[in-house]
Amino acid sequence: MLASITGNTKIIGVIADPVSQARTPIMANTLLDEKGLWGAFVMLPMHVSAEGFPAFIAGLRALKNFGGAVVSMPHKVVAANLVDELTPEARLVGAVNVVRRNQDGRLIGTMLDGEGFVAGLACAGYSVKGANVLLAGAGGAASAIAFALAKHHCASLCIQNRTPERASALSKRITDVYPQVEVTTEIHATSHYDIAINGTSLGMKPNDDLPISKSLIARCDLIAECVIAPEMTPLLQEASDQGKVVHTGVPMLAAQMNLMLAFMGAE
């Protein structure tokens, strides 16, 4: 297979900090191989800090054999301000999780997290239509998921965030586009949720706080993750211990992998 890497190989990547936990390279390269495209394209991990991210993005415009990259935490929101053009989905969410380099060096950003998350749930047999949903987070991935939940007709959405102002701002943006969905940032004593989602990075590190409290987990039926590694996060472990149905973050990535590769030209 190594002979397939030539001077014509296009480099695609996954940009994150940290990136050592990323499953994207092995999933993407396996899929490229299945499609007969491995060698024409190869995906590499790209470990870039928040401080170095703007300069790194600028440099990608000059790399003529760069096809694009999956953009992961913590860069999704910043990336939306650094690319040259946003798709309607990315503009609506205000974040980017895939970047494509055009032949002229212009960088185009899109957002697939939301559709990927809903599709991942659907593949596991869960529908968001008519569901009362609790969402932890208001960053790039969480925003994408929030808009996708509203688009796919959830009945209500409660957004919680460590910075309440960000939760309120996201709530207003969703209400402006999907006024038929009940969106709130308040949890009431009688509140019960069909689905609870962690849209934050909490859970990637062993000592992270739970993004959803133990007492609130008890008031939810299905607990779902965006964190991919570890696959069984402390949140999911706690939910499982409470007898709740759990849904890992892996299906979200798997559901959007073909879309990501296609957007970067690997089709």
Q: How many domains does the chain have?
A: 2
Q: Is residue 89 part of a domain?
A: yes
133 lies in the same domain as 199: yes
Q: Helix, strand or coil for residue 180?
A: coil
| pTM metric for this prediction | 0.89
State the amino acid at position 171 in one-letter form.
S
3-state secondary structure of 183: strand
Rounded CA-CA distance 194/221 in Å is 5
Q: Are residues 140 and 87 in the same domain?
A: no
Q: Residues 127, 101: one domain?
A: no
CA-based radius of gyration for the chain: 19
Instruction: Reply yes or no: is the peptide bond before residue 230 cis, omega within 30 of 0.
Output: yes
Is residue 261 assigned to a domain? no
In a domain, 266, yes or no: no
Q: What is the pLDDT along the chain (267 residues), one digit of tens a residue?
A: 566 899 999 999 999 999 998 999 999 999 999 999 999 999 999 999 999 999 999 999 999 999 999 999 899 999 999 999 999 999 999 999 999 999 999 999 999 999 999 999 999 999 999 999 999 999 999 999 999 999 999 999 999 999 999 999 999 999 999 999 999 999 998 999 999 999 999 999 889 999 999 999 999 999 999 999 899 999 999 999 999 999 999 999 999 999 999 999 998
Range of the domain at 22: 2-111
Alpha-carbon 93 to chain mean position:
12
Cα separation values, 57 from 104, 173, 260, Å:
15, 28, 18
